[in-house]
Structure 1
């Protein structure tokens, strides 16, 4: 036996041992997989997708179109079949000539198909081109239906696109060249690691499949996230109030209180020093407070919008006034917290309470006549399902909200991460924003339905008035000086709807800024990055489109512009304040206890 024979024999035995070890891992993981799947919660059908009525109307409309205008549909069918067959024949022709190459490819660019084999390998290129031809046919079929109203048509477009995205060949191992190549390179190790990732995600979420987007071991609140120094100076059943330590010798006399959304946790505004809006505001000489909301359990079933206003907003504002010894504060509301800040301001107007000097709204909706992309989930089929869910459990579990927002960007937040984790066995990245995105919170039953029914569906605040705290409040009663920042590609709070709400407010002093990018990146956009620009236009009497067309485009972050506006509303400079006081002892260091409670 030669040296090469011995080496080959050793390698063969090593490969067999490795295969046996992997098979043993797969067997153990399969048992864990079955156990984990058995623990999954039953998801109500009403929260799985739109009602069958939508599809029935679409099918009826398509049938009617076939009867009334057969030539149009026949033309589209022939176009589809022509493209599909022509591509098939071209691919076959090259193969019969012995050419292992794809035919001409003029399909649109798609970042899902960036691996070189999608372009160079005849099998994978054929699958890609056929998929994209089918996509175009489905989209055309949806557009051919003229019997649906605008909202139904929008929903049909959205949910048909969900099906299209789900069936992408990149989402299946046999048709994903990148995953197959990696499996071959690693002797199947990537697939076993992917199975481990899948099982770990199922076990971590009690059988619910929630793709881990970020390395959860890479971050710890107070150590490398939410590190701006400060203290909890007040706490009640609904929130902790955090006051941040000054970094300047002098500060503006009027303190700044920030109300973040309770759908997620406040530290989106304090991820790390380089992109922390909180730290930046402190560095500009503001006494900054932030509300850290409790993560509700079923015991909060009856907590309403009125509780969030009375026990949350008004209480927090009152405590800030006491701590700082002032009569007025400036307030910020982000997303749903901005919506609720506007309700609070309208209520304060009725009560003749002038405690808020000026208000800032981040990506805030107050006019829900056009609910944007998220509106596909705000029709009765979904909302009735949520109503039944919270009636039974007392809360809307964060699982449902997280899943809903993820499906608004399914390729980026579901399928792409799932491919990397489960097919390729890659560990999730250490990405602070995605870590925060996965750290969701529950919503109380009563508040959830008040918000969905009275504001989102019935648009009462911008029309007939919204009932809260024993009275009816109207959008025109928001009269304090205000500045609003909306985001151009926001898929949660459409900027045109945000603009419309600001137009309807009664303030004489209004400023509107449109930031580039989306719901998070457009807000968490520090000047040091010089990344996304913004638009300004003082003429708020224009339509949204006309406002945008006439707006001035400015490079870089809107934060300095906000600072210039806010400083003019914040009074004289005084010696810096330290957190707390004699009547407000420091209860815990920032970021507090509510934000880390599970």
Structure 2
């Protein structure tokens, strides 16, 4: 153990350190300019407050929504609090544990400030919020960080260690505690973030002026709700530099447009390809640009590609159900493909909830004579069983669904921003607070990023459809259990015997890999399960030319995913070529390239069509 320094030695160190300039300065260079900028920042902050209050004063936004959400959070956390507060000895023990950590952190901080070489407790996993060197080198910020991390861990332990709390409530409490902890991070406040303080000093507060101006703009754009900007939306225009693969809209109805893309090869696979994207987001995630486009790549491999482009619904679509989306979406598109190509059988792809709908359609068709219309199905990060559906399940208990249904009944749909917020909360540090600090405190305009532009281009959800989805899938898990009824038919996935390529992504927060894997067992035919690196979007949109990530294969999905991973073979790069090989083993017959519409359908407009351009 190192010997303690004498008082004189410590004084000598302090004197020596005081002669050196501080590593960073938090003092504004020009106090007069700083004062003017602070006044401007307060003025912009007033505009932000006015933008928040305006729709509430006019009744455009319900003032009780925040209160309802807060009540739900407090009610859930109170179940954990009751366990700890019911026993005074237990409460004191928990408090003592926390104060002991505080005392240790404080003592280490004092020693470090005195130059005693005290070691800082480090996180097992690097935390990007505290990447700035001053979070470790400056004793004050280091103590602040350590106090915050200790408190966060302590709060999460309270949830984990609370007994007599049912699993669903515990999971909700854990999620809410994590969200509260993420929001209260010292990195999210200007006065406790060294990077923000340094930027404020260096620019004499101009960063805060820019930040407050953007804050006012974003609250106004969200009609009283903050829509944190994640990218420069002005850099993209659908059909010009995003969603640009050549094609035509060859049919449309009230619910969707069907796009056929131009062939780029002399011959094409005889069996066409129909893609069913999610309606929670827009289809052009599959056609971001020429380098990332799965649609363009599939065309280059010789597929005759058709894509369903869903309408952005409004009050007129309030009564559209899952059955409507199946019949006026998938079945309508199948008829369009047959008219355009003369082919009754297709290879079909369903992405996310589009994959869930595709599975519903497969089970529905398996009970009738028309079951041969879909020859193979590919699922991109899609769930058919919701036992392990992750944190999104937290928003789908009876009480919350009833509240949501009341809200949707008033306008006929769920506003797209609500679903976008739910998705962002699953990774709030990366998708909310990172941009909150960068935009509104550092005053930095976000860079153009096509993926984040797509992510912010939200869609509404029809009331009847969304209610059916939440109840039948997340709440009651009816599809995999043979209890889902569409029209007069009870669905049975075990009667789906066509080949299925079931793709999961390893870091998926929306359709967890465990959930996708588990769902494979409910189909009655051969299922090729493939696991790819990264998450719900980047794992799927992974073109071979980029040579990023990896994927794992091991045939059928048997047992549990952990055991499967132990035996699976890891392959470098994109899974796209593996999928193409799988498709061609089913049927590799080719015909001459087809013209759009096949001479039977007239083009209505150029791809990507008008439905995808509808804004909320």
- Report the alpha carbon displacement of residue 21 of structure 1 after superposing the two structures with TM: 6.3
- State whether structure 2 residue 412 is matched by structure 1 residue 394: yes
1:159-238 equivalences under 5 Å are 159-238=176-255
| Deviations 1:172-206 (CA, angstroms, capped at 9, x unpaired) | 11001101100111111111000111011011111
1:17-416 equivalences under 5 Å are 22=37, 25-26=40-41, 28-40=43-55, 41-42=61-62, 44=65, 45-47=67-69, 50=72, 52-64=74-86, 66=87, 70=89, 76-93=94-111, 95=113, 97=114, 99=115, 103-108=118-123, 109-353=126-370, 354-416=372-434
| Deviations 1:18-50 (CA, angstroms, capped at 9, x unpaired) | 568646744652453233112342262445573
| Deviations 1:79-124 (CA, angstroms, capped at 9, x unpaired) | 43222112213333454x5x5x884212213211000111111211
1:394-473 equivalences under 5 Å are 394-473=412-491
Distance 1:129 1:102 in 2: 17
Distance 1:91 1:233 in 2: 68
User: Taking structure 2 as the reference length, what is the TM-score of the superposition?
Assistant: 0.90
Distance 2:363 2:604 in 1: 32
Q: Give SS of 1:384's match.
A: helix
User: Taking structure 1 as the reference length, what is the TM-score of the superposition?
Assistant: 0.92
Q: Residues 126, 102 of structure 1: CA spacing in aligned structure 2 closer, same or farther, 3 A cutoff? A: farther
Q: 1:515 aligns with which of 529, 532, 541?
A: 532
Q: Give SS of 2:54's match.
A: coil
- Report the alpha carbon displacement of residue 571 of structure 1 after superposing the two structures with TM: 4.1
Distance 2:194 2:361 in 1: 55
- Report the alpha carbon displacement of residue 377 of structure 1 after superposing the two structures with TM: 1.5
Distance 2:69 2:318 in 1: 20
Distance 2:468 2:68 in 1: 19
1:533-548 equivalences under 5 Å are 533-548=550-565
Distance 2:306 2:225 in 1: 36
| Deviations 1:427-473 (CA, angstroms, capped at 9, x unpaired) | 01101111000001000000011111112111111114211133221
CA contact 2:49–2:216 (8 Å) conserved in 1:
no
Q: Give SS of 2:233's match.
A: coil
CA contact 1:231–1:592 (8 Å) conserved in 2:
yes
CA contact 1:300–1:394 (8 Å) conserved in 2:
yes
- State whether structure 2 residue 584 is matched by structure 1 residue 562: no
Q: Give SS of 1:231's match.
A: strand
Distance 2:349 2:72 in 1: 35
Q: Which moved more, 1:142-151 or 1:192-201?
A: 142-151
Distance 1:29 1:60 in 2: 43
For structure 2, the 5+ residue unaligned runs are 1-28, 56-60
Residue of structure 1 in register with 2:548 after alignment? 531
Q: Give SS of 1:483's match.
A: strand
1:574-585 equivalences under 5 Å are 574-585=591-602
CA contact 1:49–1:382 (8 Å) conserved in 2:
no
CA contact 2:351–2:382 (8 Å) conserved in 1:
yes
Distance 1:597 1:389 in 2: 22
Q: Give SS of 1:310's match.
A: helix
Q: 1:481 aligns with which of 487, 490, 499?
A: 499
| Deviations 1:216-258 (CA, angstroms, capped at 9, x unpaired) | 1111111111111111111111111111111111100100010
> Number of residue pairs matched?
577
Distance 2:95 2:221 in 1: 47
Distance 1:76 1:52 in 2: 20
CA contact 1:102–1:120 (8 Å) conserved in 2:
no
- Report the alpha carbon displacement of residue 159 of structure 1 after superposing the two structures with TM: 1.1
CA contact 2:248–2:261 (8 Å) conserved in 1:
yes
For structure 1, the 5+ residue unaligned runs are 1-13
